[in-house]
Amino acid sequence: MAHKPERMCVGCRKMFEKSKLLRVIELDGKIIVDDKQKVLTRGVYFCRDKGCIAAARKKKALSKHFKRNVSDDIYEKLSEWI
Ligand SMILES: [Zn+2]
């Protein structure tokens, strides 16, 4: 069985195959949902569960990760991808 890269969901802290997760990254100073995962950078991963997005929003996971104030809009955008 080939090894597939796994990442941890910031909401439920479970490991998932990277390709199944949504990734949020900082690109050119903007925080965006990176659905293609082509940019080589660190990001925050979310499994496709609204509960995880809500949990991350509550604990301001993105603001903590990017060490800046991340607007709640991004969580709305993430919900649209689920
Ligand atoms: Zn999750």
pLDDT, tens digit (0-9, with 9 covering 90-100), for 56-78? 999 999 999 999 999 999 999 99
Q: Is the pLDDT of residue 2 over 80?
A: no
Alpha carbon of 80 to ligand 1 centroid (Å)? 15
The answer, as to whether pTM is greater than 0.75, is yes
Q: Which two tokens stand for residue 32?
A: 């965006």
Of the candidates 40, 8, 46, the residue with the CA atom closest to the CA atom of residue 26? 40
Average of pLDDT values for 36-43? 87
* Rounded percentage of the chain residues whose pLDDT exceeds 90: 83
Characterize 47-70 residue by residue with b for buried, 16 or more Cβ atoms within 10 angstroms of its Cβ, and e for exposed. beeeebbebbbeeebbbebbeeeb
**All structural domains of the chain:** 6-81 (3.30.1230.10)
Alpha carbon of 47 to ligand 1 centroid (Å)? 4
Average pLDDT of the chain is 94
Alpha carbon of 43 to ligand 1 centroid (Å)? 15
